[in-house]
Amino acid sequence: MLVVIAGVNHSLLAQNTIFWEKSLQNFWWQASLRIPDLRPDSTMVTLYPYDQIVDHDLGLAYPVNLIYFPEAQSQIPIRLPVSTLMPTDSNVQLILAQAKRKSNQYRVHKSIINYSNVLILVQPTYDSCVRVVGGENSVISTDDPENIRKIVPFSKIENIRLWSDNHVPPKYAFGNEPSHTWCYFFEKADLAVQRLDWESASALGDQALALGFNPMEPVEWFPFIQAYAMVGNQEKIEFIAVKATENIHFKNQVCDIFRKPRSALEPTLEMKALIEKLYCK
């Protein structure tokens, strides 16, 4: 009996390990769509959908560096240009305090943790998309933990190099590119919004909706709301509002953002009035 139980436990562990590996691969495929390139010497705060993916508070620095800085190095220790952190209580306190840079070395790899130059990347649930969090138009999900909410103002989205060619995750480490479902269009549209390319973002929304895709997480509507407001597509704004306004937390955030003066997000008076009617009443 003990042998049977041990065998079952080993099988379950193996299945879970494969599942977590797939989750990690999916996370970084999505991230690569949203982030064409990264500035070196930044520190990425990563929230994965499963705690078991990472068993310590420094996160996994290898995936992000393998994608964005794959060049071979001859010196020892090997310098990882981007460091990573998990949003643990201790790390959050150091970010809030804007603590001094810290060198971290594990075996032959070395990185510099920069608590004052972080970029937040989250996937709070397996069904949600990976999101870059930060910037003046950032929205928060009800699934985002409190530790993420605390440090959102410190996330520097300017660490994303917007106009570089996209880095493609190597197949040998991340497998084949996932099929183009909702999250593909979300990531591409969110990047287009950061580039202020409203036409491209709205076109991506048109494609996603035509294919019948919808988000599991309401905040993933936001890049499309911004884009459709800026191009003046009243029909799509009203269509999304039917679904998105069911989440009061998200509805209130949309209202607040559009009410505040924004240099980039400045739709026509007619579209402002429509947003006010749909999201602020």
Residue 125 confidence (pLDDT) above 60? yes
Does one domain contain both 65 and 155?
yes
Does one domain contain both 191 and 150?
no
- Buried b / exposed e across 81-98, counting CB within 10 Å, b at 16+? bbbbbbbeeebbebbeee
Q: Is 100 helix (H, G, I), strand (E, B) or coil?
A: coil
Does one domain contain both 125 and 218?
no
Residue 5 confidence (pLDDT) above 70? no
pLDDT at position 55, please?
A: 57
Identify the residue with better confidence: 105 or 174: 174
Please give the model's pTM, rounded to 2 decimal places. Answer: 0.90
pLDDT at position 2, please?
A: 34
The parent domain of residue 203 ranges over 179-279
Residue 17 confidence (pLDDT) above 70? no
Q: Is residue 90 part of a domain?
A: yes
pLDDT at position 9, please?
A: 33
- Buried b / exposed e across 107-124, counting CB within 10 Å, b at 16+? eebbbbbbbebbbbbbbb
Q: Assign 19 a pLDDT band (cuts: 50, 70, 90).
A: low
> Average pLDDT for residues 205-213, to the nearest whole number?
98
Q: Is 280 helix (H, G, I), strand (E, B) or coil?
A: coil
Q: Is residue 250 part of a domain?
A: yes
172: buried, middle or exposed (CB in 10 Å: 19+, 13-18, 0-12)? exposed
pLDDT, tens digit (0-9, with 9 covering 90-100), for 135-154: 888 899 999 999 999 999 99
Residue % of the chain over a pLDDT of 90: 72
- Beta-strand ranges (E) seen in 96-203 are 102-106, 109-113, 118-122, 131-133
Question: Which pair of structure tokens corresponds to residue 254?
Answer: 């949309």
Residue 75 confidence (pLDDT) above 60? yes
Does one domain contain both 133 and 56?
yes
pLDDT at position 12, please?
A: 31
Question: Which pair of structure tokens corresponds to residue 195?
Answer: 């580039």
Does one domain contain both 186 and 155?
no
Return mean pLDDT, the chain: 89
Does one domain contain both 82 and 130?
yes
pLDDT, tens digit (0-9, with 9 covering 90-100), for 153-180: 999 999 999 998 889 999 999 999 999 9
Q: Assign 8 a pLDDT band (cuts: 50, 70, 90).
A: very low
> Average pLDDT for residues 81-86, to the nearest whole number?
93
pLDDT at position 7, please?
A: 33
Give the count of domains, the chain: 2
Domain end, chosen from 124, 159, 194, is at 159
Does one domain contain both 126 and 197?
no
Question: Which pair of structure tokens corresponds to residue 170?
Answer: 């190597």
Q: H or E stretch including 46?
A: strand 43-47
pLDDT, tens digit (0-9, with 9 covering 90-100), for 216-267: 999 999 999 999 999 999 999 999 999 999 999 999 999 999 998 877 889 9
Residue 76 confidence (pLDDT) above 70? yes
Domain end, chosen from 130, 159, 188, is at 159
pLDDT at position 77, please?
A: 80
